[in-house]
Amino acid sequence: MHVKVSVIVPVYNPGIYIEDCIASLLTQSLPPDEYEVIFVDDGSTDETPARLDALAAENSRVTVIHQEPSGWSGKPRNVGIAASQGEYVMFVDNDDYLGDEALERMYDYAVANGTDVVVGKMAGKGRPVPVELFRRNHPHATVENAPLIDSLTPHKMFRREFLDKIGLRFPEGRRRLEDHVFVTEAYLRADGISVLSDYVCYYHVKRDDAANAGFQRFDPIGYFKNLREALDIVEQYTEPGPVRDRLYRRWLRNEMVERMRGRRLLALPDDGYRKQLYEEIRQVVVERFGPGVSAGLAPTQQVIAALIAADRFEDLVAFAEWEVAVAPKATPEDIRWEDGSLRIGLSAEFASKRQPMTFPSGSAGASPADPPLDAAAAIAWVEADTVAKFGKATVDLLLRERSSAAQYFQPVEFTRELVPAGDDGRVRVVLRGTASVDPGTALDGAPIRGGLWDVFVRVKLGGWTKECRLGPVPRAGRTAAPGGVVAERVTLPYWTSPQGNLALDVDRASKRLDLGRLTPEDITVSDGRLRAPLPLHAPGDTDVLLRLTADTAYHVPATLSPAADGEGSVLEAVLPAEELRGAVRVALGPAPGADEPRFLPLPFVLRARAGRIQAARAPRPSLVQRAVRKARRVLGELLGRAAAGAKA
């Protein structure tokens, strides 16, 4: 069979952290004879070599290559390329893992678009990943029309013929940023690049022991020597001008400015290392970057770049001490269901020391000149620039899956407002918006999955792009919309405890749906037809399923319809009256066509005798029954998390 993809995994002492990686590689949706996995063991001294050899003995698609330690990931990846048989190669780190359909989706996308490189959507579990790059699918991306340069890790799919044609391989030896050199050249020389954003392909994991190679303290001299090699690639394959400046800007922003700002600068050891790192950064800034590079940075980043270039280290520290107190704040204002979508009203602004930031009102529409080289004046410059460019401020709402960290943008309509903040002429700059979460399309057009989802707000304002939770809300003010039965899921907005941040519980919230307020008096059964008001939103006549359980279990089609008064819905079903006997427990399943429907117990029973049916309050379970149910629930959650971790 034709091998479509070769997955190359450099390995060095991963311990138990390789297990999720292995599991994800063996459960890919791509047929087993259409891909191979090549583990290149770079001199591991733990039990991993034996583990991999046993794995290869059991799986014909797994190959293990053992070699003497080389010091970094470049040589193992090159050895893997040389041994690969696939049309494409995919690089995976031994402590990360893939989505179940990653290889199949990325390969098909590459073939459909005839591209040399495919960048799959990433999720970060404890570590940052690019966000803007994955707003939408981009079948024909370039460094000019997409922020590809934001993603320079090697965890992508590359056409093997393309790599051989241009002779592209990773720099080898004990060095940093070998992936920057490799990926940058691939971007600049590829005939086609595609970005797949509607499925999370790659999960970056921060290990509990923080032993990921990229998290280790580094030697500044060696690091920035290696960084210059990536800049050399840009210089070799681009002409002077806006494109080159934009690419250079990625390294100035991420590897230099961001290391010298706010909490990240102040957290550096003040034992000489902080100053040494600063000096190496300043040398690169002065020797390699012209004014066009820093001019495209956000205002706060421009300030930091200017202070570095002018050798104003003490002002840099002072600016960091001011900026570290700046944080976004997003407040929920209205949460309601409307036509099958959850509408979330919010306001967002930046705060300093937990108080709303204020800005000079007279700056609107007039951008200030270049940033000054004094910390106090630089702060005033940032404030004035924030108001001047308020018309470009944006707010986004993202759903982030708690188990996997996968995140998805939701549509937001917003306005910008300058709010007077006292008699001194200063103003607050506030973004007000309404996000729309449709459970049927929330995941880039796909239905939302069961589980817990946290709501994040991403604010671009002035010199900052920051994220925060939507909340917190004081306990006394925690009101939210009811659960909604949409797209064969039950979605419940709720407030986390004790923080009071907004989250969504999908198909798990049987105890929090407020079904307990339903009484037998609310329920009617006439001529075998059940009618019950439920505190659940239904966008229209919605097919659901009732499970009736006595000695025998019955599954009965039912309908949820919006209540006439607009509050909640009405459940209706025709009961098999002649077949029911005794006390019958009732549960609601929102997905009549599902293979494994989840059921929500309703707080009443039906008492059936001689074809007559009446509703009665459900008996309270005994202490023993409650203990058994709790044990089952805890065990089920543990098994579910374990399964999700293995499959995600």
Q: Are 601 and 510 in contact (CB under 8 A)?
A: yes
- Give the span between the Cα atoms of 31 and 101, in whole angstroms: 11
Whether the Cβ atoms of residue 449 and residue 203 lie closer than 8 Å to each other: no
pLDDT of residue 97: 97
Check residue 644 and give its pLDDT: 46
Among residues 275, 283, 274, which one has the least CA distance to residue 252? 283
How confident is the model over 344-372, as a mean pLDDT? 83
Which range (274-288, 299-313, 515-529) has the least confidence? 515-529
Confidence at residue 29, expressed as pLDDT on a 0 to 100 scale: 97
Give the Cα separation of 434 and 410 in Å (integer). 10
DSSP 372: P
Beta bridge partners of 346: 332, 433
Q: Per-residue pLDDT averaged across 550-554, rounded?
A: 89
| Residue 122, token pair as written in the block | 């990433």
Return the pLDDT at 272. Answer: 92
For 424, the token pair is: 């001194």
To the nearest whole percent, how much of the chain has pLDDT over 90? 79
pTM, whole model, 2 decimals?
0.87
Q: Treating both helix axes as pointing N-terminal to C-terminal, what angle do 375-388 and 313-323 enclose, rounded to 10 degrees?
A: 50
Both tokens assigned to 580? 């029911």
pLDDT given for residue 423 in this prediction: 74
385: three-class secondary structure by DSSP: helix
Q: Does the pLDDT at position 509 exceed 90? A: no
Tell me, what's the pLDDT at 218? 85
Which of 582, 571, 589 is CA-nearest to residue 613? 582
Q: Is residue 366's pLDDT more than 70?
A: no
Task: Break the chain into its structural domains and give their ranges.
Answer: 5-211, 238-312, 327-475, 515-617, 620-648
pLDDT value, residue 611 = 78
627 band by pLDDT with thresholds 50, 70 and 90: low
CATH number for the segment(s) 515-617: 2.60.40
CA distance 363 to 383: 9
The CATH architecture assigned to 327-475 reads Sandwich (2.60)
Which residue matches tokens 């190496």?
280
pLDDT in tens, 403-444: 999 999 999 999 999 999 977 889 999 999 999 999 999 999
CA dist., res. 1 & res. 166, Å (int): 27
Is it true that 327-475 and 515-617 share their CATH fold?
A: yes
What's the pLDDT band for 625 if we cut at 50, 70, 90? low
pLDDT score of 647 more than 50: no
- Which residues are within 8 A (CB) of 450 and not within 5 positions of it... i.e. 6 or more apart? 489, 506, 507, 508, 598
What's the pLDDT at 624?
62
The band of 518, judged by pLDDT with boundaries at 50, 70 and 90, is confident
Q: Under CATH, which number does the domain 5-211 receive?
A: 3.90.550.10
The answer to whether residue 499 scores a pLDDT higher than 70 is yes
Lowest mean pLDDT among 235-249, 426-440, 454-468, 629-643: 629-643
Strands 193-205 and 138-141: antiparallel
The answer on pLDDT for 98 being more than 60 is: yes
pLDDT tens track for 636-646:
556 555 554 44
Tens digit of pLDDT for each residue in 196-218? 999 999 999 987 655 545 445 78
